[in-house]
Amino acid sequence: MEANKNPNRDYWNKDDLRVYILLYCANADLITKEEELEYITGKINSAKYNEIKKEFKNDNDYQSIQKIEESIGHLGYDKAQLEQLVVEIKELFWSDGQFDSVERAILLHLQRILNV
């Protein structure tokens, strides 16, 4: 088993994965802004947020993408749910009033992963 692989990840629900993806996006430019953090913490209780954040911080970029891809397939999202996830990603990126080129590149990459 990989060092940073969390065996409990198989038990993520869609809300957990959504928060993980939003954390990934908020860290796209290596600076998590207060507005982005507020957007994310408004989506889940603080204990669960801290648990997911701890796992996220232990993952490198490759591991994060692998977890996102595997979990999307495992959790059985439909097209409407994936489109809603993209809407939330855009809302997160706009939460600080800016949507820069790094964030745009991350969005395009995630849209390819999500097939949306």
Regarding pTM above 0.85, the answer is yes
Band of residue 2 on the pLDDT scale cut at 50, 70, 90 = very low
Look at residue 32 in the predicted model and tell me its pLDDT: 86
Domain definitions of the chain by residue range: 12-114
Instruction: List the CATH code of the domain at 12-114.
Output: 1.10.3680
**Number of neighbours of residue 67 by Cβ within 10 angstroms:** 22
Contacts with 35 (C-beta within 8 Å, 6 or more apart), sequence order: 95, 96, 97
* Helices 101-114, 14-26: crossing angle, 10 deg rounding: 150
Tell me if 23 sits within 8 A of 52, measured CB to CB: yes
Alpha carbon distance 81, 88 (integer Å): 11
Q: pLDDT of 12-65, one tens digit each? A: 899 999 999 999 999 988 888 899 999 999 989 899 999 999 999 999 999 999
| Number of alpha carbons in the 13 Å side-chain half-sphere of residue 30 | 1
Alpha carbon distance 107, 41 (integer Å): 20
Contacts with 16 (C-beta within 8 Å, 6 or more apart), sequence order: 44, 48, 52
Alpha carbon distance 93, 39 (integer Å): 10
